[in-house]
């Protein structure tokens, strides 16, 4: 998977102290990429945009 065009971002609620964060790249057509901010060279998960929305929606609903 080619990642050179991915624009990575962290959640706005992430702290700047190097805590447990994920980075998301959603600028590539047809996929959303997710990786660990502490291990950027580790594995990268790839979701379809529909699957990513479902994951985020379910996560938000179950933690609120």
Q: What range defines the domain where residue 41 resides?
A: 20-63
What b/e readout covers 28-41, taking b as 16+ CB neighbours within 10 angstroms? beebbbbbeeeeee
Mean pLDDT for the chain overall: 87
Instruction: Give which of 14, 12, 52 is closest to 31, Cα–Cα.
Output: 52
Residue 30 lies in a domain: yes
Task: Work out how many domains the chain is built from and give that number.
Answer: 1
CB 22 within 8 A of CB 6: no
Pairing state between β 22-25 and 9-10 = antiparallel
Q: pLDDT tens digits, residue range 11-36? A: 776 666 656 788 999 999 999 999 99
Q: Which two tokens stand for residue 56?
A: 């985020």
pTM reported for the whole predicted model? 0.79
């Amino acid at each position: 998977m080619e990642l050179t065009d991915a624009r990575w971002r962290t959640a706005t609620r992430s702290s700047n102290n190097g805590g447990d964060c994920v980075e998301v790249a959603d600028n590539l057509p047809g996929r959303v990429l997710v990786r660990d901010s502490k291990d950027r060279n580790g594995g990268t998960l790839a979701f379809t945009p529909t699957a990513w929305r479902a994951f985020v929606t379910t996560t938000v609903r179950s933690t609120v």
